[in-house]
Structure 1
């Protein structure tokens, strides 16, 4: 019908729209299935499960370690699976869903201004950059955008409790998203200047 189809093989944990997959029910993409899946579905790109997860709570504290500062560090992405998928599907567009890095400055902003987001942690940006240097052509980061907007709006309301005009609080929220997107395009996704 002339539409572009992005398929997903594997099951990512987390919540997206009305779909809720527990960590116990999630599973990695099985590289041995990708060739048959792509040929039978005739999809245009393939989202694979290599350890990403939907939402701002991608990992439980038990799944993470703590660094010297006491911050949660998530388990690394399964680049071995990505490499094997790429070997089996050379040149085929690969996608990562659930790849927000959950910027801690916005989590802090949310929490300092009335929100409650304890232990929200995402995919480290250096791992996303590594994936983008390879076959991954699309990386979904919606939770990062939501956090930038929500944190900025919460701070605005805290700083200006008398304000109620959306034009006033949406202006800094849009600016925060714009700066975040610029950062991601240049320093994480590596796609600046490629449009």
Structure 2
């Protein structure tokens, strides 16, 4: 089955009050684990590739691994560029066969963000590719994306931005952040702001970045077996599930996958010090990815049995 866009996915998600998981991929085991979970749950799926993944594995390698997954299944799947930093990167991915791209102009002023986003939208739409944009800024670090502070999305600007750019979905800032260290105190999301944006942009798909929950059992496991992760804290899953009923159609998850893989690998090495074959420790790591994604689909995103 060929790659698909996200318009139909998002339309149904919005109508039925669930979100679709957009999971970052970096290698074969991550792709396999995510695909197995989505197939078992019969859930719509977005695999996304960050700038860091493109540098680590190479765009062609990632694309070919996903093509291999499509050979083995007819599962509907969108391939998305996460945090495209300029027009050229978005163009490369559009020309390279991605079905969806994100242009991240959140580091620019409002007018510059509009100008470049509109340029990406025009190029993408001519080639049947959908575009996600971002307005507002998330704190934290993810690959090459870094900010010391959050700038919450202004609802009035969000409406103007969507109207002037023609972007197909919009990532907003309401309190989530990138990385594993999201909150020092009580975790809160600005649902009043989200509700206002949703009401002002009816039936329009909203996206949440920085939405890993950083499960404490994996923090503890990693630290027990030699890690030093510290006071990592993510977005409570109940807040993410609530957001999906407010027009959030896409929720990005990356850190939780990394954390689960690393914790399981650390545990494996501690319990099996003689092992040196990568297959020995990557097999349980792949299962950890599958289990994490399956949990998110069922209990956080609410998108099981939606295909």
TM over 0.5: yes
Whether contact under 8 Å (2:194, 2:246) holds in the other structure is no
Unaligned runs of 5+ in 2: 1-123
- Corresponding residue SS for 1:7: strand
Unaligned runs of 5+ in 1: 65-73
Question: What aligned pairs does 1:150-165 form with structure 2 within 5 A after superposition?
Answer: 150-165=262-277
The alpha carbon displacement at 1:194 in A equals: 0.9
1:99 aligns with 2:211: yes
Between the aligned partners of 2:256 and 2:300, the Cα distance in structure 1 is: 13
Between the aligned partners of 2:189 and 2:207, the Cα distance in structure 1 is: 14
The alpha carbon displacement at 1:134 in A equals: 2.6
The alpha carbon displacement at 1:76 in A equals: 1.1
Quick one: which of 181, 186, 208 aligns to 1:57?
181
Whether contact under 8 Å (1:110, 1:151) holds in the other structure is yes
Where has structure 1 moved over 2 Å in runs of 4 or more? none
> What is the number of equivalent residue pairs in this alignment?
181
Between the aligned partners of 1:133 and 1:160, the Cα distance in structure 2 is: 45
Structure 2 residue aligned with 1:68? none
Question: What aligned pairs does 1:1-195 form with structure 2 within 5 A after superposition?
Answer: 1=124, 2-23=128-149, 26-59=150-183, 61=184, 64=185, 74-195=186-307
Aligned-CA RMSD value: 1.0
Structure 1 residue aligned with 2:4? none
The alpha carbon displacement at 1:129 in A equals: 0.6
Whether contact under 8 Å (1:133, 1:190) holds in the other structure is no
Between the aligned partners of 1:134 and 1:182, the Cα distance in structure 2 is: 23
- Corresponding residue SS for 2:267: helix
Whether contact under 8 Å (2:213, 2:236) holds in the other structure is yes
